């Protein structure tokens, strides 16, 4: 049907064009060069580092420590299981899915983003992560759960965690940095827990469902803010001169429109993954239509970096899931331009406008930050986590127009180098490259639409993170940090399942 439609004719015209042929030759050339490239092979080739880490002294030490912890918890787990409270819990959980560990953890992850900013405390996330980690360890010790060891996450997360711990040695404000170290510990715990919970497709689908609900609820809250005119224009978020006519930017429950944008960037691909995994066509259609809600909320956030990130994610997803629809997507985008609201067009026109204060402020910050990194080997050691550590050092390197109201570098990659040093930024980039490479290989081997859709959603999420990281430091708001590491944990779990099925 698609081949006989207008879209099919457009695709055939594109595939027969000289430009398509030229791009195809260029892509094949790059692939041949990539196969002979040692660096590219290390980044996206089969991971030897993970296997070496698991067999190394440090990897074996982590494994032994985990085993010792489980052994020590075994008597406590047995006592709880044999107690009256344990018997009651087993009886209730046998009749109610609500007491199931996966459901409770999923509800926690969902509620973590639904609490309005004014009522939220990041300590709640740390307490919740520790409670669920303790409960999971007791279940594993009692033989109720399959044991998962931290080294299973791989070398990249291990090096990143080490960089977070070592950052305290070089922090310019140790007391303040400790608070942000705890945020990163929370994020890593959430990543491990979601990786441990999602052991099969049913549990993965369940976890995706909870995050899908949280995405819809946060998006609905943002749209309600616009519908009830609850958000006014804020000159801290928008250049009111160049963006005349742009209304107040919504933020839902997340305090800041850029936070809302970052949250949607991490959860929208997961929503697409949930829809792809649904075999019932009617349910898949409903889930796919539901994705319109976060798209509308993202538009209302007026986050330019968010728009660009999700455009990249959409192109990547469509390319890998249904390549024939790429020209249609581009054509649809061009046809949508004349009917877009004037406020959106105004906002789009300022993306590359050097007169926009938001843009010039970013460039001024980057100039000062690069000067800071080049001095005193800060690029190697970092200066510690948190805005207090950043401001304590940055003020000596700030340039005009990049002095006031600066709490971070406005770029994920720069900020990782600033706060965690070379080990932090390189380990994170290594982790992203390896996961993307694994997802790309899995995509090449996947044959059915469900598996291709899941892997395409994973790759598109990485694309969104990579693009937005150039213009935003989305981890400044801890709940965005948590959302990102939940996405990473789900991506690792999905890749593990896919690779096990292929093997």
Cβ–Cβ < 8 Å for 457, 273: yes
Cβ–Cβ < 8 Å for 184, 385: yes
Q: How far is residue 105's CA from residue 128's CA, in Å, rounded to a whole number?
A: 9
Closest CA to 150 of 76, 230, 69, 229: 69
Q: How far is residue 128's CA from residue 124's CA, in Å, rounded to a whole number?
A: 6
Q: How far is residue 31's CA from residue 241's CA, in Å, rounded to a whole number?
A: 46
Residue with tokens 């990102």: 484
Q: Is 190 helix (H, G, I), strand (E, B) or coil?
A: helix
Cβ–Cβ < 8 Å for 302, 356: no
What is the chain's pLDDT, residue by residue, as a tens digit (503 residues)?
Answer: 445 555 556 556 656 666 666 666 765 665 565 555 545 555 555 567 777 888 888 889 999 999 999 999 988 888 877 776 666 566 555 555 556 889 999 999 999 999 999 999 999 999 999 999 999 999 899 888 899 999 999 889 999 999 999 999 999 999 999 999 999 999 999 999 999 999 999 999 999 999 999 999 999 999 999 999 999 887 777 777 778 788 989 999 999 999 999 999 999 999 999 999 998 889 999 999 999 999 999 999 999 999 999 999 999 998 888 777 777 777 777 777 788 888 888 888 887 777 778 888 889 999 999 999 998 899 999 999 999 999 999 999 999 888 888 899 999 999 999 999 999 999 999 999 889 888 888 887 877 888 888 999 999 999 999 999 998 999 999 999 999 999 999 999 999 998 887 65
The predicted pLDDT at position 38 comes to 47
* 115 found inside a domain: yes
- Render the burial of 347-363: b for 16+ CB within 10 Å, e for the rest: beebeeeeebbbbebbe
* 400 found inside a domain: yes
Half-sphere exposure of 187 (CA within 13 A, CB side): 23
* 455 found inside a domain: yes
Straight-line distance from the first to the last Cα atom of the chain, in angstroms, rounded to the nearest whole number: 35
| Residue 255 dihedral angles phi and psi, to the nearest 5° | 75, -30
Angle, alpha carbons 322-324-326 (nearest 5°): 85
Q: How far is residue 503's CA from residue 499's CA, in Å, rounded to a whole number?
A: 6
From the number of C-beta atoms within 10 Å of its C-beta (0-12, 13-18, 19+), residue 37 rates as: middle
Cβ–Cβ < 8 Å for 480, 422: no
| DSSP string of 395-416, one letter each residue | TTT--TTSSTT--S-SSHHHHH
Q: How far is residue 479's CA from residue 36's CA, in Å, rounded to a whole number?
A: 41
Q: What is the DSSP letter of 215?
A: H
| Residue 444 dihedral angles phi and psi, to the nearest 5° | -65, -25
Alpha-carbon distances of 126 from 122, 136, 190, 482, rounded to whole Å = 7, 15, 9, 10
* 238 found inside a domain: yes
Number of structural domains in the chain: 1
From the number of C-beta atoms within 10 Å of its C-beta (0-12, 13-18, 19+), residue 57 rates as: exposed
* 367 found inside a domain: no
- Render the burial of 124-151: b for 16+ CB within 10 Å, e for the rest: ebbebbeebeeebbbbbbbeebeebbbb
Alpha-carbon distances of 384 from 228, 372, 416, rounded to whole Å = 42, 14, 10
* 364 found inside a domain: no
* 1 found inside a domain: no
Helix orientation angle between 304-321 and 257-277, rounded to the nearest 10 degrees: 10
For 465, the token pair is 């993170």
Kindly tell me the sign of the dihedral angle through the C-alpha atoms of 249, 255, 259, 260: negative
Element containing residue 499 per DSSP (H, E):
helix 478-502
Q: Which distant-in-sequence residues (6+ apart) come within 8 Å of 241 by Cβ?
A: none
> Range of 126's domain?
49-328+396-502
Measured in whole angstroms, how far is the alpha carbon of residue 146 from the centre of its chain?
26
Q: What is the DSSP letter of 399?
A: -
- For residues 114, 119, 120, 121, the Cα torsion angle rounded to the nearest 10 degrees is -160
Closest CA to 252 of 426, 369, 120: 120
* 429 found inside a domain: yes
For 496, the token pair is 């593990």
Helix orientation angle between 478-502 and 101-114, rounded to the nearest 10 degrees: 140
């Amino acid at each position: 049907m698609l081949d006989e439609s207008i879209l099919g004719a457009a695709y055939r015209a594109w595939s027969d064009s000289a430009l398509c042929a030229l791009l195809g030759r260029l892509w094949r050339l790059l692939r041949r060069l990539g196969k002979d490239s040692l660096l590219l092979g290390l980044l996206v080739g089969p991971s030897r580092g993970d296997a070496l880490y698991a067999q190394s002294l440090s990897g074996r030490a982590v494994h032994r420590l985990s085993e010792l912890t489980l052994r020590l918890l075994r008597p406590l787990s047995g006592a709880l299981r044999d107690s009256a409270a344990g018997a009651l819990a087993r009886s209730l959980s046998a009749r109610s899915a609500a007491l199931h560990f996966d459901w409770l953890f999923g509800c926690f992850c969902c509620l973590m983003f639904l609490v309005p900013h004014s009522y939220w405390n990041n300590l709640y996330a740390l307490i919740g992560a520790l409670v669920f980690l303790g409960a999971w360890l007791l279940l594993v010790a009692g033989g109720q759960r399959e044991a998962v060891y931290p080294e299973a996450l791989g070398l990249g997360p291990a090096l990143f965690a080490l960089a977070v711990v070592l950052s305290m040695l070089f922090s310019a404000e140790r007391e303040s940095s400790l608070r942000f170290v705890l945020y990163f510990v929370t994020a890593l715990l959430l990543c491990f827990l979601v990786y441990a919970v999602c052991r099969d497709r049913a549990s993965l689908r369940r976890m995706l469902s909870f995050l899908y609900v949280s995405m819809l609820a946060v998006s609905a809250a943002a749209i309600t803010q616009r519908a009830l005119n609850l958000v006014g224009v804020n000159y801290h978020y928008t250049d009111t001169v160049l963006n005349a006519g742009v209304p107040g930017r919504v933020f839902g429950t997340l305090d800041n429109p850029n936070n809302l944008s970052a949250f949607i960037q991490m959860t929208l691909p997961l929503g697409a993954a949930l829809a792809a995994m649904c075999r019932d066509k009617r349910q898949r259609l409903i889930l796919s239509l539901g994705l319109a809600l976060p798209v509308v909320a993202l538009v209302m956030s007026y986050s330019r970096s968010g728009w660009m990130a999700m455009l990249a994610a959409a192109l990547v997803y469509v390319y890998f899931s249904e390549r024939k629809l790429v020209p249609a997507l581009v054509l649809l985008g061009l046809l949508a331009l004349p009917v877009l609201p004037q406020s959106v067009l105004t906002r789009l026109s300022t993306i590359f406008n050097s007169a926009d204060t938001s843009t010039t402020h970013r460039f001024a910050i980057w100039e000062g930050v690069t000067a800071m990194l080049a001095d005193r080997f800060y690029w190697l050691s970092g200066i510690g986590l948190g805005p207090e550590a950043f401001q304590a050092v940055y003020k000596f390197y700030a340039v005009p127009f990049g002095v006031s109201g600066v709490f971070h570098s406005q770029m994920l990659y720069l900020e990782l180098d600033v706060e965690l040093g070379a080990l932090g930024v390189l380990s994170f980039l290594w982790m992203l490259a390896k996961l993307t490479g694994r997802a790309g290989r899995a995509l090449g081997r996947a044959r059915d639409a469900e598996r291709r859709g899941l892997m395409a959603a994973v790759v598109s999420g990485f694309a969104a993170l990579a693009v937005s990281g150039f213009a935003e430091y989305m981890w400044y708001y801890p709940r965005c940090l948590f959302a990102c590491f939940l996405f990473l944990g789900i991506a690792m779990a999905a890749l593990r399942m896919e690779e096990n099925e292929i093997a």
